[in-house]
Amino acid sequence: MRIVDMRSDTVTKPTPEMLEFMLHAEVGDDVYGEDPTVNALQLEAAELLGFEAGLFTPSGTMANQMAIAAHTSRGQEVICPQDAHIYEYELGMMATFSSVVPRFVPAPLGVPDPEMVRKAVRHSIHQSPTGLIALENTHNKAGGTVVNLETIKAIRAVADFEGLPFHLDGARAFNATTALGIHIREMAQYFDSVSICLSKGLGAPIGSVLLGKKDFLKIAHRYRKMMGGGMRQAGILAAGGLYALRHGPARLEHDHTRAKTLAAGFKNAGFDVNLETVQTNMVFITVPDAAKTVQEWTDKGVWCGQMDVDKVRLVTHFQQNDDDIGYVLERITTA
């Protein structure tokens, strides 16, 4: 049976060109900081986003949690948008590793109100002090939605006023800036740290980069080692990341267009899709029982994921084509 894998944009496999590039990577021991390809990736990502430096990690989760650990102290709160990945999908790691707790602010369509962020800051002796403000762009659980620059600037102003660091979970930062039609640096400049994923829409088999100031990354580097993220001849992987960083962002526009086509097809067939949330490469469909629907669709060759008891997620990526979108619609929407 023909299968279209729409569970995530993480499922892509390295292309022959990427594999060729990886094969010829120069390597060294990265625990000693001696892997030239890892160093090149870190430098190139830092330059692209306008930061002093970068740190290669095996996963987005590790990059985010290193950032939280490096920005905060035990007993503090992290202000984050409702349903933020750093808490919802990172297995309570901010509590177990950094001994900090989340304070959610409402985020309709993934966009928190800066005024509510300001009100969420805690100073009182009776409460856990705020240690960090975090944002997610695009916001995964809201549907891959985009936080606009005005909101980001306004939250930056709160962070400045309160003397707090501001972190971006930018696992899909390039999807956000593609949708906004801006260079990634235009968004990254408002944050003290940004994590980007190379293994989602950009297409690398593994890896993220945490970006920030050198002093901050020196601390984060120790946490990476504590988490078991000290890698050796990681240049083979970093080469996949470099290739993804150079070639991936320009392709994202196509993923976004296909997501819109897919969403419109479902909507026209009477499915419950909020088209307002379809801003990048995700389509969320509301159904009575998502677990059952995921099973039924998977059995039909349309692999999808469950994002809530009543939400099915379909994600577009570069290893699908227009024909796949047509096939998915035909399999699911025709009786």
Q: Which of 12, 39, 42, 61 binds ligand TLP (CB under 6 A)?
A: 61
Q: Which of 14, 60, 112, 240 binds ligand TLP (CB under 6 A)?
A: 60
Contact pattern for ligand TLP over residues 68 through 87, marking x by CB under 6 A = -----------------x--
Q: Does the footprint of ligand TLP cover residue 169 (CB under 6 A)? A: yes
Q: What residue number has its CB nearest to ligand TLP?
A: 60
Which structure tokens are listed for 144?
Answer: 């891959």
Rounded (to 5) percent helix, strand, coil in the chain: 45, 20, 35
Q: Does the footprint of ligand TLP cover residue 306 (CB under 6 A)? A: no
Evaluated on CA atoms 55, 91, 98, 68, the torsion sign reads positive
- The minimum distance between CB 210 and ligand TLP, in angstroms, equals 12
Residues sharing a CB contact under 8 Å with residue 49, sequence separation 6 or more, in sequence order: 184, 185, 188, 194, 196, 211
Q: Does the footprint of ligand TLP cover residue 171 (CB under 6 A)? A: yes
Q: Does the footprint of ligand TLP cover residue 298 (CB under 6 A)? A: no
- The minimum distance between CB 237 and ligand TLP, in angstroms, equals 13
How many whole angstroms separate alpha carbon 72 and alpha carbon 288?
A: 40
In the block, which residue shows the tokens 């894998």?
5
The nearer residue to ligand TLP, 281 or 293, going by C-beta atoms, is 281
Residues 125 to 164 in contact with ligand TLP, rule: CB under 6 A:
136, 140
- The minimum distance between CB 207 and ligand TLP, in angstroms, equals 8
- Nearest Cα to 40, choosing from 237, 249, 252, 248? 237
In the block, which residue shows the tokens 């009100």?
119
Q: Does the footprint of ligand TLP cover residue 241 (CB under 6 A)? A: no
Contacting range for ligand TLP; rule: CB under 6 A; set: 53-61, 127-135, 146-154, 265-273 = 53-61
Q: What angle do CA 175, 201, 191 make, to 5 degrees?
A: 45
Contacting range for ligand TLP; rule: CB under 6 A; set: 54-62, 67-75, 121-129, 249-257 = 54-62
Within 10 angstroms of residue 92's Cβ, the number of other Cβ atoms is: 11
Residues sharing a CB contact under 8 Å with residue 267, sequence separation 6 or more, in sequence order: 273, 275
Please give the residue ranges that form the binding site for ligand TLP (CB under 6 A): 8, 10, 59-61, 64, 85, 89, 136, 140, 169, 171, 197, 208
